[in-house]
Amino acid sequence: MTARDARTASRTQERNRSQPTESLALKPSLAVALLAGALAVQACTSLPSVAIDIALAGAGIIALRHPRLRWAAAFAIGFAWCAWRAGNALDARLPVALEGRDLDVVGVVDELPLTRGDATSATVRIERAWLDGTDIGLHGRVRIAWYSAPPDALAACSRWHLRIRAKRPRGLVNPGGFDAERSALEHGIVATGYVRDDGPNVREGESSFCIDALRETLAREIGRRVSDPHDAALVRAFAIGDTRGLDDDDWQVARINGVPHLIAISGFHVGVAAAFGALLVRLFGFLFPRW
């Protein structure tokens, strides 16, 4: 081997050793580029077509092989992915042509129903929907109100065949106000409406597994064991995230004390900690039965 060959081999080995370090150093910048691409979608007044999304993603994947183009490639991939997901979410909403029409749906009650005054409101996760016997391919969650139903008609995790009249989610556009349409998009709500009295509106069983059924059972048992209704409502809110019994004054007190997040988050954490503690006690009893 000549001296020139030896120098070439040495440079090659050094370059190969430095490549993992270079790739690792680029990872944070690639993450920033992906995020920047996703954020750029928020500035668009209209979304690009699916063909453009595919072209951008394909070009980005190819460009990732070139070190100098990796940042732009990550940006393109982030933009294409976010735009594609946003387009799917918007397309999942109830078609405008079906607004105000009576639709038959079969779905499972999602989350905990709320009864106030003469109406029971709930969110139904649609499994099948049709109009005049023709499947309309509507999937997602629908927020409904049932005005003539008894208070316990809708139970969490129950499956129903309902006839509803619905529309796309809409909200006011007042500056600084609550954006109901954006909230519906975030929670997968594809339509809002009410149950028609002339429909079948029959219960068709239960979902195979649904955590909200357990939450509803726990809420009912807490109400039975805590005599004061207001105290029971607070226990349900902090233990299982059931805020149906809280009024405006309760939320105001929570905001003043800076603890609204405890109601939304810590209920689940309390449940996990309680389950883990129960398992530890059972394990201790198994290992030391005399105790």
pLDDT tens digits in sequence order for the chain, 291 residues long: 565 555 565 565 555 554 444 443 457 888 899 999 999 998 898 999 999 999 999 999 999 888 888 899 999 999 999 999 999 999 999 999 999 999 999 999 988 888 887 888 999 999 999 998 899 999 999 999 998 776 667 888 899 999 999 999 988 888 888 888 888 988 899 999 999 988 889 998 888 778 888 888 889 999 999 999 999 998 888 888 888 888 889 889 888 988 787 776 655 666 777 888 899 999 999 898 887
Packed helices 248-257 and 229-240: angle between N→C axes, nearest 10 degrees = 50
What's residue 3's pLDDT? 56
To the question of pTM greater than 0.95 for the whole model, the response is: no
Burial class (CB in 10 A: 0-12, 13-18, 19+), 184: buried
What's residue 269's pLDDT? 67
Q: Which residue, among 126, 55, 139, has the nearest Cα to 91 in the 3D structure?
A: 139
Residue 240 half-sphere exposure toward CB, CA atoms < 13 A: 22
Answer for the pair 223, 237: CB distance below 8 angstroms, yes or no: no
Which contiguous run of DSSP H or E holds residue 215?
helix 211-225
Q: Which residue, among 105, 101, 201, has the nearest Cα to 148 in the 3D structure?
A: 201
For 139, phi then psi, to 5°, come to -135, 160
Dist CA 16 CA 24 (whole Å): 13
Quick one: residue 133, left, alpha or beta (phi over 0 = left, psi -120 to 50 = alpha)?
left
3-state secondary structure of 189: strand
35-65 residue pLDDT tens: 999 999 988 989 999 999 999 999 999 998 8
